[in-house]
Structure 1
Amino acid sequence: MPLPARRTFLALGALTGLHLLTGCTGDHPDRPAQSGAADPDRPLRERQLAATDALLADYDAVLATGTADAGKLGDLREDLLQHRTALDPAAPSPTASTSPSTSSSASPSATASAPARTVADLAAAERRTAELRLADLAAASPALARTLASVAASGAAHAAALGDTTAPAPVPSPSASSSSSPEPLPTADADALQAALAAEHAAVYGYGVVGAFLPAGPQREDARGTYAAHQARRDTWQRVLAAGGASPTAAAAGYRLPFPVKDADSAARLAAHLETQLTAAYADLAAHPAFRDPAAAALRESALRAAHWGADLPALPGLATDQ
């Protein structure tokens, strides 16, 4: 799957031209500590690399049977190699010596299952590995947390592409404090949440356009349900920001579409585009400990929705990459 050269927060800009919601950032995928410096994430990196190697071995086992779509599985396997590099750019390429059977750092949850032999086995393995990524979120540094949230979202999309229909466990959204004197949000947390709110404002607008160009039927119902979901998340972020003493970002007066929408096909492309862009805001939000779980859940949902609407997801949804 192709990788974007830079993360683009939103591809909708204001019709007035006064408020631009597109742009590039200087952020990069997670990098470990400089050579010679202690890396507090080292145990997590090793556990995640072992889990990735176990998954690579599963792909190789299924590909060796000759009974699966080699092209499709090859593309997904290529994503895993990019996951490895993102998790630890200094890690050596996977070889027989780093297979899960010989790696001492492999997590029991990553290696306890029997080797995959079918596509259904692979789908289940992708889902389990995505859950392992999320289990390490709380202990990770901010940069590694962003990477784990992105890789987990990619794994969830892989599992869905391979036929897994298991619904992920629901993650409660943060609620506004009921205290008469709630703690103010730290500036960095508030800024990341404001970016997510701005993204949801744009998504709500965009889905209004999407629904207008879809004929009655399943696609329009999908768009209607997703429109309501983005409204609900927008409202949640507004409440959390207000409770934390911040003034929630207001919706723009209008938004410029990234391309003309004039029929059902272009409406579906817009939906895919919106969800792909949302992953950037939620990858950034996942770096903040107070919002990691809901941000990772939102990133996963947007990645799955983007794929549902036909997007060709990058290996690292929401993260910028160097070219």
Structure 2
Amino acid sequence: MPAPTRRTFLALGALTGLQLLCGCTDDHPAKPAQSPAADPDRPLRLRQLAATDALLARYDAALAAPGADPGKLGDLRADVVQHREALARTLPSASPSPSASPPPSSPSASPSAATAADLAAAEQRTAALRLADLAAASPDLARTLASVAASGAAHAAALGDTTASAAPSPSPSPSASASAPAVPAADTAALQAALAAEHAAVYGYGVVGAFLPAGPQREDARATYAAHQARRDAWQRVLATGGASPTAAAPGYRLPFPVKDAATAVQLAAHLETQLTAAYADLAAAPTYRDQAAAALRDCTLRAAHWGADLPALPGLSAEQ
């Protein structure tokens, strides 16, 4: 028997590799493809979709009533449609999203079908349901729920609910003590980003207040400045007592545009709050700080609306999220 040549070894190697790639050996048949893992968020998403559909039905009833403002209610309804799409993103079998266009009004509809107060109360109840599922949600869904809840609070305020108005007063802030637990390493970056955003907000509101004349707006800016100081200090304590070194404030910050008068000062305030929503939406993914992050996201969303910001349907989230 002649000795095997180098070419023979190469041919055998190529054949073996081909068999492995194709999975076509006689002794080891190919395994069937595994089904994708079940979505652990599915029950939460389905419950949130049901609540969203109920809210959309209330908007449809309100829009069908005589005297309804189709512009305002239609815009709010369009936001709720986007909320539904975000909540159903990983549910291909979910029922299709309702039309983004509101139904035509009906002159024969009952005037008591729904009122602005009814809608505001429904928005508040639905926002509370979003927050009730926050702890059990995955990080991605938690961010969505916190954003949708903040949007719902802003809707309630737009519909005249004074309990949801953005009265710029210090909000409940995270507490810390000498025995506070260590900050989880996975959450440190998001917490530091929130602190850095608060540093920038404190600096920015110093500029805002300098350009506002004495009166209600200036008092609003002063109260909001104090609120951001309180939240900044609270995050610093959480980081310091949790074993992390808090991000220090910069010596100065570049403004996004020149501030020359009261009008541009108000624009800066709206910009600051809008920027903060992104930091708190990210922090809402952190299990340890979800409640505080969701509350801060709500506060910033309401303040942004208070200062006249054109808020997206999902505050703090990009179009891809």
TM-score, with length taken from structure 2: 0.80
Counterpart of 1:7? none
**Letter of the structure 1 residue corresponding to residue 86 of structure 2:** A
Which structure carries more helix by proportion? 2
Does the Cα contact within 8 Å between 1:68 and 1:119 map onto a contact in 2?
no
- C-alpha displacement at 1:120, in angstroms? 1.1
Deviations 1:101-143 (A, max 9, x none): xxxxxxxxxxxxxx96111111111111011100110111111
Tell me, in whole angstroms, the C-alpha distance in 2 between the residues paired with 1:276 and 1:116: 35
Distance 1:254 1:116, change over 3 A: farther
**Letter of the structure 1 residue corresponding to residue 130 of structure 2:** R
Tell me, in whole angstroms, the C-alpha distance in 1 between the residues paired with 2:83 and 2:135: 19
Q: Who wins on radius of gyration, i.e. which is larger?
A: 2
- C-alpha displacement at 1:279, in angstroms? 0.3
**Letter of the structure 2 residue corresponding to residue 55 of structure 1:** L
Tell me, in whole angstroms, the C-alpha distance in 1 between the residues paired with 2:194 and 2:41: 26
Counterpart of 1:134? 131
Which residues of 2 match residues 57-206 of structure 1 at below 5 A?
Answer: 57-89=57-89, 90=92, 91-94=94-97, 117-166=114-163, 172-179=172-179, 182-206=180-204
Does the Cα contact within 8 Å between 1:116 and 1:125 map onto a contact in 2?
no
Which residues of 2 match residues 1-323 of structure 1 at below 5 A?
Answer: 36-89=36-89, 90=92, 91-94=94-97, 117-166=114-163, 172-179=172-179, 182-322=180-320
Contiguous gaps of at least 5 residues in structure 1: 1-34, 97-114
Tell me, in whole angstroms, the C-alpha distance in 1 between the residues paired with 2:145 and 2:98: 23
Tell me, in whole angstroms, the C-alpha distance in 2 between the residues paired with 1:78 and 1:232: 35
Does the Cα contact within 8 Å between 1:134 and 1:152 map onto a contact in 2?
yes
SS at match of 2:163: coil
Which stretches of structure 1, 4 residues or more, deviate above 4 A after TM superposition? none
Of 77-86 and 186-195, deviating more is 186-195
Tell me, in whole angstroms, the C-alpha distance in 2 between the residues paired with 1:120 and 1:67: 15
Deviations 1:138-185 (A, max 9, x none): 1111110000000000000000000011259x9853322332xx5421
Contiguous gaps of at least 5 residues in structure 2: 1-34, 100-111
Deviations 1:215-240 (A, max 9, x none): 00000000000000000000000000
Counterpart of 1:107? none
Does the Cα contact within 8 Å between 1:204 and 1:227 map onto a contact in 2?
yes
Deviations 1:6-53 (A, max 9, x none): xxxxxxxxxxxxxxxxxxxxxxxxxxxxx8320001110001000000
Supply the RMSD in Å over aligned alpha carbons.
2.0
**Letter of the structure 2 residue corresponding to residue 244 of structure 1:** G
Distance 1:257 1:95, change over 3 A: closer
TM-score, with length taken from structure 1: 0.79
